[in-house]
């Protein structure tokens, strides 16, 4: 068989905000498509009208825009295989339902919800399958004329897939290998409902993957139980030669304990499970998002990429381009991946270090202005460069950077007690004179001059520098002292020293 063009799809149902696990699924599809020069398709699976949530589709599109994962075709992107919204493909599905009915692979069933309920109550573990279908109301058990009469009378019906029992169904999964399920445990799944003229997920999914020439189905583990049914459907249509390769990704697990990651874990431990903030249109509830919580998209991508896969060495920081190069679908793990959100913070910290100082400065400039700081972008960028190694979120920067632009109005009591010694006022007065005498105020020259003075006087460097820091910063924190004075300048250094001597005595 000729090598197929790689075409993968991300096919969410617009039933609410996109879960972070869905983002991981989309990312793996994206990486796989890009590394094979393939296509990445965006399909909306909205055949279940009861679960439709307004705004969800737009939310999903915006999420990927923010994350920088680009689709080649699909809803809102166009392409040659459209329409890409399943609710707009009714006629297509109807045609394929008829194909299955005509070749005896499916049948029509009239059982009402009440009748089904009654059966379930009567028979423990009732399943609509080869063992029970002849005792139900369907086109296999009823005379042909009656079936015809009922349909013509407008009676509602569903179309069920006729599963032949006693057969081992093999799902060849790129991650899990040969998964075998006996068809006897499968029920005659509903493929279509006359009530709304829409197919169910299973039929629409298979027909679309076929028509859209999808080569690989990469999706979450929760879909593995459906895969045998899907294999049987491909066969029923005679499409086994172009059946996509399956790859079911490992589950995302709770950060602690066992089980699947849920929104409640996020609420309890304080991390988002959605890419963007979500405003529930019904309840009005607001759920936090990675974007609004201050995560950089690159950090989120890098973090998610490693939940279920790794490059086989200890490299952790990888750009999207590197991930495209290194990712290997065959090396994904079968075991669930613990959602260690502290690690996500760590990635955010790492990516802030890679960010351009000016870009970060631009981002925090409004917050600085709000606090009354009036400075140039250049200077703020320089300060950001000194302080960014201390933060995991950009929003932490303004608070840390403020002291460069605003002299301390008070001095931290604990630091004062520890660092401001009896001899400090005298020593700081001397230092004031030393600094007044420095013409070349470069970091190197300041440092040399001050250190020479300390040495000549036989002072303790720690004692001097600690008092100096308290005077300039107002507390015991901050980067190297001469980096600070370099930014605030000679006049401001002198003024702050003078004030500390006056106030602290």
Report the interface residues with ligand GLU, using CB under 6 A: 11-13, 45, 205, 219, 223
Q: Is 450 helix (H, G, I), strand (E, B) or coil?
A: helix
Q: State how far the Cα of 203 lies from the Cα of 201, in Å rounded to an integer.
A: 6
What residues pair up with 180 in beta bridges, in sequence order?
170
The residue among 11 and 344 lying less far from ligand GLU, judged by its C-beta, is: 11
Structure tokens belonging to residue 105 = 């692979």
We find the least distance from the C-beta atom of residue 315 to ligand GLU, in angstroms, to be 29
Question: What minimum distance in Å lies between the beta carbon of 149 and ligand GLU?
Answer: 36
* 288, 277 contact by CB (below 8 A): yes
Residue with tokens 């009896």: 422
Q: Which residue has the tokens 């703020």?
A: 380
Q: How far is the CB of 217 from ligand GLU (least distance, A)?
A: 6
Of residues 11 and 108, the one with the C-beta less far from ligand GLU: 11
Contact 13, 61 (CB under 8 A): no
Distances (CA, A) of 101 to 96, 131, 237, 378: 9, 20, 11, 72
The CB-based long-range contact list for 260-263 (8 Å cut-off, 24+ gap) reads 260/336, 261/20, 261/21, 261/339, 263/19, 263/287
CA–CA dist 248, 43 (Å, integer): 18
CB of 205 to ligand GLU, least distance (A): 5
Measured from the CB of residue 204, what is the shortest distance to ligand GLU in angstroms? 9
Nearer to ligand GLU, 174 or 438 (CB): 174
Q: Which is nearer to ligand GLU, 260 or 349 (CB)?
A: 260
Q: Cα–Cα–Cα angle for 386, 387, 388, nearest 5°?
A: 110
Name which of 206 and 467 has its Cβ closer to ligand GLU: 206
11, burial (CB in 10 Å: exposed 0-12, middle 13-18, buried 19+): buried
- Complex with ligand GLU: residue 275 or 478, whichever CB lies closer: 275
Report the nearest approach of ligand GLU to the CB of residue 288 (Å).
22
Measured from the CB atom, the residue of 11 and 261 that comes closer to ligand GLU is 11
Contact 291, 66 (CB under 8 A): yes
Cα dihedral value 381, 383, 384, 387, nearest 10: 170
Nearer to ligand GLU, 133 or 189 (CB): 189
Considering the complex, what minimum distance in angstroms separates the CB of residue 12 from ligand GLU? 5
Structure tokens at 211: 């028509």
> Can you tell me the distance from the alpha carbon of 56 to that of 12, in angstroms, rounded to the nearest whole number?
10
3-state secondary structure of 390: helix
As measured in angstroms, the least distance from the Cβ of 150 to ligand GLU is: 32
Query: Helices 90-102 & 227-237, crossing angle to 10 degrees?
Result: 70
The least distance separating ligand GLU from the CB of residue 221, rounded to whole angstroms, comes to: 11
Q: Closest approach of Cβ 201 to ligand GLU, in Å?
A: 6
By beta-carbon proximity to ligand GLU, the closer residue of 48 and 322 is 48
DSSP assignment letter at 334: S
Q: Which residues contact 51 (CB under 8 A, 6 or more apart)?
A: 13, 15
199 forms beta bridges with 192
d(CA 163, CA 38) in angstroms, rounded, equals 34
Q: How many whole angstroms separate alpha carbon 75 and alpha carbon 10? A: 11
Closer to ligand GLU by Cβ: residue 60 or 397: 60
Comparing CA positions, the residue from 287, 218, 169 lying closest to residue 31 is 218
**Catalytic residue numbers, as ranges:** 263
Angle between helices 461-473 and 424-436 (to 10 degrees): 80
Q: How far apart are CA 476 and CA 470, in angstroms?
A: 6
C-alpha span between 70 and 73 (Å, rounded) = 9
């Amino acid at each position: 068989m000729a090598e197929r063009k790689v075409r993968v799809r991300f096919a969410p149902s617009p039933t609410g905000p996109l879960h972070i696990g869905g983002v991981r699924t989309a990312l793996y599809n994206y990486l796989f498509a890009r590394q094979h020069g393939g296509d990445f398709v965006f399909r909306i699976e909205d055949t279940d009208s009861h679960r439709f949530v307004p705004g969800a589709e737009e939310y999903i599109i915006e999420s990927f825009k923010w994350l920088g994962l680009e689709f080649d075709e699909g809803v809102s992107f166009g392409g040659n295989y459209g329409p890409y919204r399943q609710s707009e493909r009714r006629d297509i599905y109807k045609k394929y339902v008829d194909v299955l009915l005509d070749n005896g692979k499916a049948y029509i069933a009239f059982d009402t919800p009440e009748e089904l309920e009654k059966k379930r109550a009567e028979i423990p573990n009732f399943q609509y399958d080869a063992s029970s279908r002849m005792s139900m109301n369907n086109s296999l058990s009823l005379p042909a004329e009656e079936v015809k009469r009922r349909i013509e009378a407008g009676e509602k019906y569903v179309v069920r897939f006729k599963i032949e029992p006693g057969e081992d169904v093999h799902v060849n999964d790129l991650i899990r290998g040969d998964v075998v399920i006996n068809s006897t445990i499968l029920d005659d799944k509903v493929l279509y409902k006359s009530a709304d003229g829409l197919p169910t997920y299973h039929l629409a999914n298979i027909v679309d993957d076929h028509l859209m020439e999808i080569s690989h189905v990469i999706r979450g583990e929760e879909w593995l139980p459906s895969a045998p049914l899907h294999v049987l459907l491909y066969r029923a249509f005679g499409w086994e030669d172009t059946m996509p390769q399956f790859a079911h990704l490992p589950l995302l697990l709770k950060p602690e304990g066992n089980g699947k990651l849920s929104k409640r874990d996020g609420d309890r431990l304080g991390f988002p499970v959605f890419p963007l903030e979500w405003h529930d249109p019904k309840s009005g509830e607001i759920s936090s998002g990675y974007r609004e919580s201050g995560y950089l998209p690159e950090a989120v991508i890098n973090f998610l990429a490693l939940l279920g896969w790794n490059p086989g060495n200890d490299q952790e920081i990888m750009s999207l381009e590197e991930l495209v190069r290194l990712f290997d679908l065959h090396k994904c793990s079968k075991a669930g991946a613990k959602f260690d959100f502290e690690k996500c913070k760590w990635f955010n910290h790492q990516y802030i270090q890679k960010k351009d100082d000016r870009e970060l400065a631009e981002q925090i400039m409004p917050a600085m202005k709000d606090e009354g700081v009036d400075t140039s972008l250049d200077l703020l960028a320089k300060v950001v460069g000194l302080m960014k190694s201390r933060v995991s979120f950009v929003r932490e920067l303004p608070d840390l950077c403020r002291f460069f632009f605003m002299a301390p109005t008070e001095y931290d009591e604990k630091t004062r007690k520890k660092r401001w010694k009896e001899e400090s006022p005298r020593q700081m007065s001397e230092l004031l004179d030393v600094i007044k005498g420095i013409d070349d105020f470069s970091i190197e020259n300041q440092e040399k001059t001050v250190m020479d003075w300390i040495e000549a006087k036989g002072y303790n460097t720690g004692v001097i520098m600690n008092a100096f820091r308290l005077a300039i910063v107002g507390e015991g924190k901050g980067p190297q002292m001469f980096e600070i004075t370099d930014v605030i300048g000679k006049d401001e250094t002198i003024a702050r020293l003078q004030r500390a001597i006056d106030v602290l005595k």
